[in-house]
Structure 1
Amino acid sequence: MADDEDDDRLLIGRRIHALRTERGLTQRALAEPAYTAAYVSTLEAGRVRPSENALRFFAERLGTTAEQLATGRPAHLATDLRLRLADARQTLCTGRSADAAERFAGLADEAGLHGLSQERADALLGLGDCALEHGELDLAIGHFEAAEELLRDAPLPRRVPALRGRAVAHLLAGDLRYSCYLLESAIDQLNNGGLPDPQALLLLYSAVIAPYLDLGAHRRAAQAAELALALAPQVDDPVAVARLHRSVARTLLADGRTAEADAALAQAQQLYQQLRIRTELAHCHWMRGYLRAQHGDLAAAERELRTAREMLTDRQADLYIRQIEVELADVLRRSGRSAEAAELLAELLDALHPHRGAVHAGAAHRLLGLIAEERGAPDEAERHYRTALDLLQQAGASADLADLCRLLGDLLRRTGRLEQALDTYRAGLGHQSTPGTTTLGPAPAVPPLTES
């Protein structure tokens, strides 16, 4: 600690000496009328550290700022960096994510060079979001972890965006329970801390809906949606509110409330259009396609899914594109175009695996199993079903596992393997009973401001 203080005094002294000589001032000319030449000499030698008043005085005489004398940072650097971070964020929202990543990388280096931890963390957060969009999940997790480390002494609400990003990356990788753990732990910390932050909670509740639904914990997803909606009027970030409406639509769909889900999606879509955020707007088309498919309007579903895929293709969001293509293949099969669906699925399987989109990889193999059954190829169908089971079991996707066990059980029964069929049906019933509640532990605390 003493060494750090000595270094600090020496660096300040060198800055004062460099600026004084650059401006052609003597020590006396710099010091008067408030100080003496001897005092300036001791400062430049690094023997004492100037007070805040002295820093401001000498900074004014030298034509700089007290911050630059104290830290060596150019005047207004932090403000300038924040403005450029906002520009990079806008590029990510409306332009090419590769361009945004290049900007964020440069800003991260510049902020790090000048010791601006908060600005560097924001740049790393942007890099993590760019990596998420490209499906580079390990890279995204690394950026989010680095941002959290820089902010480790900051209040939890300040760390929530990076934590949320890391949880989303683990969700996309198929680690559903760990994603839930991260989000629920943060929710508990905020709600038990006395003064929860509405915007941070909104981010967390919106994010936790997706892993809850994939795990089959529909009741928790519905509660998270209700709590997020209750918090929304207290949040002035339109992006967070739009994302909330999209997440809430998923819970309404799971509950069979299609008209309300459509209304929530329309609200989200309107906000994203106003904000010109193409990735989130594409997600709205994606979910509307899913909604139309559930409602049996396959032609409209195909149009929405193809629109979403086209928008994300422009942004090179490869992982999301592959996930959309799985749902598009389902629509094609249900429309009687099984050969087209199988061709699409075969092309995307290499891009989806246990650590990169496990839930959708399982869905792809499930569809290929159904198509194989339609073609009268039971052995091929069984291979796909069992591959899907392995993928979904690793991810813990209880709701999908129950359905898959039914399909495999039916196939085993039709091919005369009754004992194996019964075992598979029993496994499916186990996944169906109180889904999500036996493995997730207690639900997170409710925010004090929403308790009755």
Structure 2
Amino acid sequence: MAERDDPETIGRRVQELRRRRGLTQRQLAEPAYTPAYVSTLEAGRVRPSDEALRHLADRLGVAFEELATGRPTHLATDLRLGLTEAQRALADGEAEQAADRFAGLLAQAAAHGFVEEQAAAQLGLGDCALETGDLQGAREHFEAAERTLAAASLPARVPARRGRAVTHYLAGELRYAVYLLESTLDELNLAGLHDPDALLLLYTAVIGPYMDMGAQARAAQAAELALALAPQAGDPALIARMHRSVARTLLAEGRIAEADASLAKAAEMYRQLKIRTELANCRWMRGYVYAQNGELARAEEELRAARAMLSSRRAALYSSQVAVELADVLHRRGKSEEAAELLREVLGGLSPERGAVHAAAAHRLLGIIAEHTRDTEAAEEHYVRAMSLLERAGAAGDLADVCRLLGDLLRRTGRVEAALDAYRTGLGHRTAGTTTLGPAPAQPPLRDDLL
């Protein structure tokens, strides 16, 4: 049971309940206690024993815990059930409905001092805001959860820290996202706090920023550690997310069959868990796998399905990101006009503060499409916009690729010196992506049979 309230608070509660029920102090006290004792207790001048509180609770018709803490009977259980239902609504893609439930549960938990349930509701609100693309709102909820858990252990605070990192990542602040994740990993591992779920959550989250920064070796190392931790973790949804993230590193290494197998595992786990939004993300990644393997018809089918699933659930930011990859497949299939129209639509919902890396990808692809129509001026403009977004985000790998495209364009149009400058810039960013991250975070001790 939670720690009881102070004597003054309990005394006021006893007095209020007694008066509400029309009892005198004598009626409340008899037969075990005296009216004088009840009077002293109501004045807050005595700390009642458990035995006395049980007697008073029985006479007042309330539960012992409610009299001692002010919390209605079974409220903690009801809150946890409510949080589970809200999480289920979010998993079904009903982010706005889930947010309403989390907000109500947060108010209840805060009013009665349930710290863990309050933090869980704040995390849920953060996840709902992420789903709808409200990055600032999501960050505020995750920061609030971290403040709520200030006195808790670091593993308990990891989901909030990871949530903050994700908001920075999606906003294009890759380096800061990596800093948050790596510093937390260091703090956990150096302090000997080897919580498998917390570590797996962090290693899974850092793969995406590493990949976008061009740090493939660091991403592969994180993926290897995540795979080694998975057998020790207890959250199947987290393990499924890990398989989805690890697929990115496998694709970068050309291990397409293994990436597809990893995604198949994730998708099957999401189906069993009935997490529809994450299942849509799996179809998104499967489409990416097919595109990388040159299976463009299958890629288009998967990406269209993923976008439809995410759009129907108002996951605006994620559906925009899928649309960029769908446009790439459409262009490669000879449907460049449809691709360009889709990209222009997408850019209306993205910005430097919201989906910067994918906005840059949209400009990059529009540049390629413009080149194919011999509109070199428009192509150059799109490449320059893409470079600006990627440079601000610190996405060194993608930035080096756009520099190459711009250099090729400038060279073909006779501007050799400008082309050389673009190539040099690209080489500099490709090097920076692998040398400026600093030392890798400390690693957890893992059993030999898990490596």
- TM-score interval (norm. to shorter): over 0.9
Equivalences for 1:70-149 in 2 at 5 Å?
70-149=68-147
Secondary structure class of the residue paired with 2:151: coil
Question: Amino acid of the residue matched to residue 424 of structure 1?
Answer: A
* 1:216 alignment partner in structure 2: 214
Shift of 1:163: 1.4
Q: Does structure 1 residue 443 correspond to structure 2 residue 435?
A: no
Question: Amino acid of the residue matched to residue 447 of structure 1?
Answer: P
Question: Amino acid of the residue matched to residue 83 of structure 1?
Answer: L
Q: Does structure 1 residue 384 correspond to structure 2 residue 382?
A: yes
Deviations 1:83-132 (A, max 9, x none): 11111111111251111111111111222222222212111111111110
Q: Does structure 1 residue 167 correspond to structure 2 residue 165?
A: yes
Shift of 1:37: 3.0
Deviations 1:182-205 (A, max 9, x none): 111111111112231111111111
Going from structure 1 to structure 2, the CA distance change for 1:95 and 1:348 (only over 3 Å counts) comes to: closer
TM-score (norm: length of structure 2)? 0.95
Question: Amino acid of the residue matched to residue 299 of structure 2?
Answer: A
Question: Amino acid of the residue matched to residue 449 of structure 1?
Answer: L
Deviations 1:303-355 (A, max 9, x none): 00001001111111000011011001111111111111111111111211110
Shift of 1:302: 0.2
Residue segments in structure 2 that go unaligned for 5+ positions in a row? none
* 1:255 alignment partner in structure 2: 253
Secondary structure class of the residue paired with 2:294: coil
CA distance in 2 between counterparts of 1:355 and 1:261 reads 30
CA distance in 1 between counterparts of 2:230 and 2:30 reads 57
Shift of 1:53: 4.5
CA distance in 2 between counterparts of 1:98 and 1:41 reads 50
Secondary structure class of the residue paired with 2:234: coil
Equivalences for 1:388-399 in 2 at 5 Å?
388-399=386-397
Secondary structure class of the residue paired with 1:288: helix
* 2:317 alignment partner in structure 1: 319
* 1:206 alignment partner in structure 2: 204
Shift of 1:67: 2.8
Shift of 1:25: 4.6
* 2:62 alignment partner in structure 1: 64
CA distance in 2 between counterparts of 1:218 and 1:36 reads 76
Question: Amino acid of the residue matched to residue 63 of structure 1?
Answer: G
CA distance in 2 between counterparts of 1:57 and 1:197 reads 43
CA distance in 1 between counterparts of 2:64 and 2:251 reads 57
* 1:375 alignment partner in structure 2: 373
CA distance in 1 between counterparts of 2:50 and 2:440 reads 50
Question: Amino acid of the residue matched to residue 341 of structure 1?
Answer: A
Shift of 1:387: 0.4
Going from structure 1 to structure 2, the CA distance change for 1:33 and 1:192 (only over 3 Å counts) comes to: farther
CA contact (8 A) 1:285 1:304 kept: yes
Equivalences for 1:271-282 in 2 at 5 Å?
271-282=269-280
Instruction: Pick which of 157-166 and 265-274 moved more.
Output: 157-166
* 1:226 alignment partner in structure 2: 224
Going from structure 1 to structure 2, the CA distance change for 1:119 and 1:341 (only over 3 Å counts) comes to: same
Question: Amino acid of the residue matched to residue 394 of structure 2?
Answer: G
CA distance in 1 between counterparts of 2:51 and 2:242 reads 48
Secondary structure class of the residue paired with 1:356: coil
CA distance in 1 between counterparts of 2:265 and 2:415 reads 50
Shift of 1:426: 0.9
2:180 to 182, 196, 210: 182
CA distance in 1 between counterparts of 2:281 and 2:119 reads 26
User: For the aligned residues, what is the CA RMSD?
Assistant: 1.7
CA contact (8 A) 1:225 1:251 kept: yes
* 1:3 alignment partner in structure 2: none
Secondary structure class of the residue paired with 2:436: helix
CA contact (8 A) 1:227 1:450 kept: no
Shift of 1:269: 0.4
* 1:362 alignment partner in structure 2: 360
CA distance in 2 between counterparts of 1:384 and 1:86 reads 45
* 1:337 alignment partner in structure 2: 335
CA distance in 1 between counterparts of 2:187 and 2:41 reads 46
Question: Amino acid of the residue matched to residue 68 of structure 1?
Answer: E
Question: Amino acid of the residue matched to residue 15 of structure 1?
Answer: R
Shift of 1:142: 0.8
CA contact (8 A) 2:228 2:446 kept: no
Secondary structure class of the residue paired with 2:199: helix
Q: Does structure 1 residue 300 correspond to structure 2 residue 306?
A: no
CA contact (8 A) 2:270 2:279 kept: yes
Secondary structure class of the residue paired with 2:348: helix
Shift of 1:52: 4.2
CA distance in 1 between counterparts of 2:51 and 2:409 reads 82
CA distance in 1 between counterparts of 2:103 and 2:21 reads 35
Instruction: Pick which of 181-190 and 26-35 moved more.
Output: 26-35
Question: Amino acid of the residue matched to residue 441 of structure 2?
Answer: P
Shift of 1:81: 0.8
Equivalences for 1:31-50 in 2 at 5 Å?
31-32=29-30, 35-50=33-48
Instruction: Pick which of 94-103 and 165-174 moved more.
Output: 94-103
Shift of 1:400: 0.5
CA contact (8 A) 1:55 1:70 kept: yes
Residue segments in structure 1 that go unaligned for 5+ positions in a row? 1-6
CA contact (8 A) 1:173 1:356 kept: yes
Secondary structure class of the residue paired with 1:448: coil
Shift of 1:381: 0.7
CA distance in 1 between counterparts of 2:348 and 2:47 reads 62
Identity of matched residues, %: 67
Q: Does structure 1 residue 419 correspond to structure 2 residue 412?
A: no
Question: Amino acid of the residue matched to residue 257 of structure 1?
Answer: R
Secondary structure class of the residue paired with 1:299: helix
Question: Amino acid of the residue matched to residue 367 of structure 1?
Answer: L
* 2:398 alignment partner in structure 1: 400
Question: Amino acid of the residue matched to residue 166 of structure 2?
Answer: V
CA distance in 1 between counterparts of 2:422 and 2:132 reads 37
Deviations 1:148-204 (A, max 9, x none): 111111111111111111111111110101111111111111111223111111111
Question: Amino acid of the residue matched to residue 441 of structure 1?
Answer: G
CA distance in 1 between counterparts of 2:177 and 2:264 reads 28
